[in-house]
Structure 1
């Protein structure tokens, strides 16, 4: 069986809520999706979005989603919503969908309701794993209840971007389908798989009184082993490397375990790279070097442990610096993304709460396209 490529003259009209810098569109558009409408409230993200997709200047509506009305959207088949995770994240305040930021889900649902019979065939929600546990699981439950009221059957999957890029970035997705389910959809509790580990299976099991379905999906790839294809090679005299004084402070702040880790890396015969986080312990800033050769989850730059540093060590030497916007882009599967912003921190902020291009592309290829454009047999 061979899947027929989607016809270029029949694109899938898409709306991108909470669009950020546009990595959802970057993943979808090469696969036959046409992002005809996008919205975000952040001016800096809007600027980066249009720097990479200048043709979308009329499609992007900069402003608060609370001001969006259903009749303002074009006819679409897919709506995506990477709504804010602040109130759902374990590192956040855990107010859940009652919080001011994560509560923007309700605005997304309101717009869908206002679209009436023109609601899209499919919706794709993306958020952190905390969405599943927020308020004891109540938030995910009431979100799926709301989608059910709007005519959607839900499927839940989880994917760590580690399978595609050298970054540990676990995320969960809710796929809502309206109308008749596709031929490959099944009812009941799904078997455990790469995208539906035990805790996701439990979500399905606990919510069988709601319209739920699942579609069998292939296994996930292994992913790259380390950061070598991500690291931006800088000259030894590049000003972005920290000077001796700052590097010494970095080293002296390391706990014994992390100091030993650095010493071992520096003694190696080959150059190696690790990422490091800054933590505050009892009011004192300390650094921790990641044990494995991949990046931790990129976050929005707001202080504390939000920014990652890069440690380069080997052959008796070591250097440290902040990771660059290009490295962040590569870790998000967007190596060709134009990262020019007013400041590096603006670019890092945009990548910190974006989606990983490769993950969305995988979902599009294996779930959305076969559903919205059923594959033909050759």
Structure 2
């Protein structure tokens, strides 16, 4: 069943009728803003607890410096936010929800920051934004058997929001496998293209997302009509930072030998196939611990694995280049991280490269947010534009 359309003043196609004010919780280095601003959104308030992230955020959008509030979200109050905010975004910490994390879920100290976000919305009362965008890992849907997500959806419903759940892998836009789920909440009348009931399967709503809608059909839920996700790039060619063969960032012969010696048979075969092909090719590699021994594993396809916050071990990716049968290896650079996040023109200078890479590993992909903004958020907030 179709929902009621929200009214709005006419505006030229593709241009919002006046800027859409955004409150950006867990703002990180600003890639959420980077995806939204070209569509006519304006960051009116942003918050994060880490100074290094604020430094990068402000360096890339100095006009937003006054809007950025450094500090613990637990100290934020609903009265702190501008009254005109129409969209609130929250990429709250995933560590307690991730399959690689501790699985404490929304009861965990980090992922439990969702409840602080909900508290601030509650304190805003009638001034709370019309639309909310939550972003997290797929583990949010399965945490505690789905109970965590259900509690979050129930809370959003109590705050007046009907919710939709979608899943977008960044590989549809950039050469990085980065699966993420999004919850979009809309208060008031639903826009044109929104429907009640369980959605059909599509590229943004695979079987497991449809299952989320089915399991929570008794809550305030809807689904929005969306186009199919585009095909993404199949290789790293547009991402790799070109550097001379004698650049000291390439690993020396001894380190390269240790790398190849650690490869298990499957990965030795993958490397040999690249050598035999004769063409220039790139692969990413992770360092793993298998049966108590450190080993490197080369990704089978030509895209990067999911970027993570740099902290050693398997969190960092190396780049393997094979050219005319010869292999070279080095760590990926901050610029390559930026390009994999759809932010190739981003100012990556931080106090250290690791700080910049940490910020990218903890961020959203610009192109993904742009797609959601264009096909979902703008139609919800400015239906006459879409």
Q: Please tell me whether the aligned partners of residues 258 and 289 of structure 1 are also in contact (alpha carbons under 8 angstroms).
A: yes
CA contact (8 A) 2:14 2:385 kept: no
Q: 1 CA distance for matches of 2:191 and 2:132?
A: 15
Would you say 1:285 and 2:291 are equivalent positions? no
Contact 1:6-1:373 at 8 Å conserved across structures: no
Question: Does the aligned pair in 1 maintain the 2:12–2:385 contact within 8 Å?
Answer: yes
Equivalent in the alignment of 2:46: 38
Q: Which residue of 2 aligns with 1:25?
A: 33
Tell me if structure 2 keeps the 8 A contact 1:191–1:201. Answer: yes
- Aligned Cα root-mean-square deviation (Å): 1.2
How far does residue 206 in structure 1 lie from its aligned partner after superposition?
1.0
Do the aligned partners of residues 339 and 135 (structure 1) sit closer, same or farther apart at CA in structure 2, a change above 3 Å counting? Answer: same
Is 1:4–2:1 an aligned residue pair?
no
- Normalised by the length of structure 2, the TM-score is 0.95
Question: Structure 2 unaligned runs (5+)?
Answer: 1-10
- Tell me if 1:74 matches 2:85: no
Deviations 1:34-87 (A, max 9, x none): 111100001111111111011111100001000000000002000000000000
Q: How far apart are 1:5 and its partner, in Å? A: 2.3
| More off after superposition, 111-120 vs 282-291 | 282-291
Contact 2:16-2:385 at 8 Å conserved across structures: no
Report the more deviating stretch, 181-190 or 292-301: 181-190
Pairing of 1:260-275 with structure 2 (within 5 A): 260-275=269-284
CA distance in structure 2 between the aligned counterparts of 1:295 and 1:41, rounded to whole angstroms: 28
- Structure number with higher relative contact order (C-alpha < 8 Å, ≥ 6 residues apart): 2
Q: Give the alignment's TM-score, normalised by structure 1.
A: 0.97
Match of 1:298 among 294, 307, 326: 307
1:357 aligns with 2:333: no
Q: Which portions of structure 1, spanning 4 or more consecutive aligned residues, are displaced by more than 3 angstroms? A: none
Stretch moving more, 57-66 or 277-286: 277-286
Does 2:320 correspond to 1:307? Answer: no
More off after superposition, 352-361 vs 178-187: 178-187
| Distance of 2:209 and 2:281 partners within structure 1 | 36
Report if the CA contact (8 A) 1:267-1:314 is conserved: no
Deviations 1:122-158 (A, max 9, x none): 0000000000000100010000011011000000000
* Residue pair 2:15, 2:385 contacting (<8 A) in 1 also: no
The number of aligned residues is 375
Alignment partner of 2:112: what SS?
helix
Partner residue in 1 for 2:4: none
Provide the secondary structure at the position in 2 that maps to 1:366: helix
Q: How far did residue 335 of structure 1 move? A: 0.3
The structural deviation recorded for 1:236 is: 0.7
